[in-house]
Amino acid sequence: MLKTIMQYQFLQNAVISAVLASIACGIIGTIIIEKRLVMMSGGIAHTAFGGIGLGFFLGIEPIIGALVITVGAALGVATIKRKTSMNTDIPIGIFWAAGMSLGVLFVALTPGYPPDMNTYLFGDILTVSRSNLYIILSLDILVALAVIALFQHFKAYLFDEEFSTVMGIKTTFIEYLLFILIALTVVVVIHVVGIILIMALLTAPPAIARLFTHNLKRLMVYSILIGIFFTLTGLWLSYTLNIPSGTAIALFISVVYGAVSLVRALTQRRLRHNNG
Per-residue model confidence as pLDDT tens digits over 177-215:
999 999 999 888 888 888 878 888 899 999 999 988 889
Please write the tens of the pLDDT for every residue from 134-179.
Answer: 888 998 999 999 999 999 989 988 887 777 777 788 888 998 999 9
Domain segments of the chain as ranges: 2-275
Exposed, middle or buried: residue 148 (CB in 10 Å: 0-12, 13-18, 19+)? exposed
Q: What is the pLDDT of residue 222?
A: 94
The residues, any chain, with a CB within 8 Å of residue 15's CB and separated by 6 or more, are 5, 232, 235
Please write the tens of the pLDDT for every residue from 65-114.
Answer: 999 999 998 888 888 877 777 667 777 888 888 888 998 899 888 887 77
Q: What is the pLDDT of residue 225?
A: 95
Other C-beta atoms lying within 10 Å of the C-beta of residue 68: 17
Domain 2-275 has CATH 1.10.3470.10: yes
Q: How far does Cα 148 stand from its chain's mean position?
A: 18
